[in-house]
Amino acid sequence: MTTPSKSPPIPHDDDAAGGAVPALAPPSPRPRTALALYYGTDPHRLRASLARSVPTDALGRSTRHVLLALTGVPDPGDTDGILPRDEKIACAVRERARGRPGKALEILREHVAVQRASATVDDSDGWHPFLALLRGSTAMFAGDLVDAQAHLTRARMWHVAPELRIIHRHAHALSALLHAVVGNRAVALGELKTLDQVPVTGSWVEAEIAAAKSLCLSALEAGDIDRRTSPSMPLSDLRELWPFAALVYTQPHLEQGHFVDVEATLESIERAGWPGVDTSDGLPGSVVPLLRAGIARARGDLLGAARALGRADPRCGETRSARTLLLLDTGELGRARDSAEELLRRATGMRRIRLTALGILAACALRTKDSDAADHHLGALCSQSMPLSPSEFGLLPADVAAALDDRASSPTVESPGESNPGAVTPGERALLTLLETGATRAEIAAALFVSVNTVKTRLRLLYRKLGASSAAEALAHAHRRGDL
C-alpha cells in the first residue's frame, strides 16, 4: 500500500484561539481544491480533523462541508457548501458503504446531475469528473453495467489537474474490471495498459486501484483455461470489490463441476456477513443467490434455481441474464425471447451479455423452427470482431453450440475452393481445450452445460475427424494441425 501524501490543516476556531489542535501535516502550500485534500489524506485522519471544530475562514468552512459529505458524515450546519446537494451525496455514500448500491444509485440519479465532459479543460476544480466517477462506480456495484460504463468513460474524458489524476486512474481500473468480468477482454486489456501509463499517485485510493487491477487479471486468467492460477489476493483484501471477487474466483469451479467448493465459498461469505450480502440490493445482495442458482441449474434443479434467483436484485443486469436463461430452460420461449431482446438492447459494449442474449435468441428460433431468425442470430454470433473463446462458447445453449459447429464445418460458409470439411469447429476446439486440462467427461459436461452422453457423442465425432482413438492421440493430432 502506498503512503498517503501529506495535506495541510484546515483552520479551526480553536486554532485561532491558540488551542493546541494537531495538524494533519506540517505546514505546506494549501491544495488548490478540496478534492485534492480528500484524495491526499487518509480518510480516518481526515474525519478526525473535520470533527474537531468549524473553521473560521470561508474556504475552510466550504472545504469542511464538502469533505464531510464525501466521507459520509452528516453535517447539520454550514449549508453554503460549494458542492450542490452534498447532503444527498453523503446519503448515497452511506448507502453504498452499507452494501446498498442500488439505493445509492437511485439517490444519485434523482438528486445529482452529472455534467457532460468539456473538450478543453475542467473548470469545476474536479467536481464534474468526480461526480461522474461516483455515479459510474455506484452503478457498477448496483449491477447497471451500461450506466456504469457510460459514466466511467465520462469521468476519464475530463482534463483534470495533475493532483487529481487519481480520478482517471480509478476510472480506468474499474472499467478494466467491469470488462474483464462481463464485457470485452480486449477492452479490459486496453484499460489496464492505459492505467499503467497514468503516473501512480500517493493517494490512499491507490490501494483500491491495485486490488481492482489484481482482480481484473484474475478474471482474465479465469476466462483462459490454459492460464488459470490461484487467486492472487484473498477476498478480505478486496473490500468493496468482494462481489466481483466472488464471481471471478468461483467461475473455474463452476465450469469444472466442483459445486461443493463453490458452496463452501458461499457459506463462508454468508457467515462473514459482508456488507449487503443479506440486502437483495445490487451485486452485494445478488452474488450469492446468482451463484446458488447457477449450481442448481447445472444440476437440472430448475425450481431451486428459480427460488435462488427470487432472492437476487431484479434490477441487476446479471440477474436479468440468469432469469432469461431460466426461462429458456423451462420452455417459456416467448418470454425468453422478449427478455433476451431487452438484454441485447441494454448490452452496449458488454460482450459477454451480448453473447448470452444472442445465444438465447438463437435457441428460441431453433426450437420454434424459425429458420430465418435462427440464421440471423447464428450469423451474428459468427461475425463477432473476435472469435468466441472456449469459456464464451460454454455460455451458449447446447443446441446453439451444435448449430455453430455445423455452420463452421459446412462447405457453404467457405469461399469456392476453400472448403475444409475436416476443420475443427469452435465447439470442438473448446472440447480439446478442456481435454488438455485433464477434465473428465462429467467436468466437461458441467463446463459446457450439456449432458455426459452429449459429451461422449461429440468426442466420438471429434476423434473420427482427427483420425484418433484416444484423448492423448486427438490432442497430439490437434497440435500438429495447428488447431490448438
pLDDT at 355: 92
Domain boundaries, given as residue ranges, for the chain: 286-388, 425-484
pLDDT at 223: 52
In tens, the pLDDT along 441-453 reads 887 877 776 667 6
Asked whether the beta carbons of 459 and 467 are under 8 A apart, the reply is no
Q: Which residues of the chain have pLDDT under 50?
A: 1-31, 75-84, 224-229, 411-421
pTM value > 0.85? no
pLDDT at 285: 96
pLDDT at 69: 67
pLDDT at 388: 82
Closest CA to 135 of 181, 172, 178, 104: 104
In tens, the pLDDT along 67-107 reads 776 766 554 444 444 444 557 787 888 889 889 999 999 99
pLDDT at 79: 43
pLDDT at 170: 97
Provide the CATH number for the domain formed by 425-484 in this structure: 1.10.10.10
The alpha helices in 198-276, defined as continuous H runs, are 206-222, 242-255, 259-272
CB contact set of 182 (below 8 Å; sequence gap of 6+): 145, 317, 318, 350, 352, 353
Which grid cell is 123?
A: 473548470
Rounded to whole angstroms, the Cα distance separating 44 from 4 reads: 12
